[in-house]
Structure 1
């Protein structure tokens, strides 16, 4: 997994033998921090599990590129001020949403794969897919 804004990447196992590894989760939370403020938020493990499940469909060794993980309220407001299509109460603010791509895999295929899990929201955009662990909905 790599953050396209910071250039940082991480290849880590955060779940093994029926248990989550707290240190590994902390490292993932840091990777998925708000790149604008460097604020770190705990990312929902159900969201991480969903992202891994989607990634596994296309090959565990393809790198997931993160567009946006946690988003601070300051960064969210900044994006809104630029006229970006960003929800005022975005689930990114709560650590419940991730926008991502997998190079070599169309966003349409990613969207359909994410939908097949019926977990939270899935949004299709031209350059990325949004997933979250809110209520089930698709756009």
Structure 2
């Protein structure tokens, strides 16, 4: 529920948002960068966490504006589940995630494996795994590790890379894709 009048949605805006979700076809990969630049009236994100049992399905951007309460909800959802630490997740990463989900043309939500990581969590993961960066963008709220039940790592990685908006790592052996809003780059197989 939105309480701030500057964040409230008009009835007309809500009707447009819901109409857009029913008539808008998923863009092709060639349209991904246009989607990130603002094509469309709404942005929606659906995720669940196997670690916490929580799920989220929220419209966080409508008619060119982020919805503060929805972004706050995403921040809390993507917290470091080990420490309960919450940080502001970079909305560029959220936009990449939403665009990637839409481009995969699925109704499935993402499974969030890792969003924000505290420095303590990142250090612990580095001690136990070779693939964890010392200065991981997860610690800045700029990265997420994601999985889709009904799409392959390759399909999800192609969708994320089509956004041409940050880093995309394929971790086929562990069945997940890393996305971030850092420099444009790809890695893994």
Structure 1 residue 60: deviation in Å? 5.4
1:129 lines up with 2:181 in the alignment: no
Computing the radius of gyration over CA atoms, which structure comes out larger, 1 or 2? 2
Aligned to 1:48: 94
Aligned to 2:103: 57
Among candidates 20, 27, 40, match of residue 66 of structure 2 = 20
Q: What do the CA deviations read for 1:73-124 (whole angstroms, capped 9, x no partner)?
A: 0100111122342001000000000000111100011111111111111000
Provide the TM-score with structure 2 as the length reference: 0.71
Give the SS at the match of 2:52. Answer: coil
Unmatched segments (≥5 aa) in structure 2: 1-46
Give the SS at the match of 1:39. Answer: coil
Aligned to 2:144: 98
Structure 1 residue 4: deviation in Å? 2.1
Give the SS at the match of 1:81. Answer: helix
Distance 1:6 1:14 in 2: 21
1:6 lines up with 2:58 in the alignment: no
Structure 1 residue 9: deviation in Å? 0.4
Comparing 58-67 and 111-120, the one that deviates more: 58-67
Structure 1 residue 17: deviation in Å? 1.8
Q: How many residues align?
A: 139
Distance 1:83 1:117 in 2: 28
Give the SS at the match of 1:62. Answer: coil
Unmatched segments (≥5 aa) in structure 1: none
Runs of 4+ in structure 1 deviating by more than 4 angstroms, as ranges, are none
Provide the TM-score with structure 1 as the length reference: 0.96
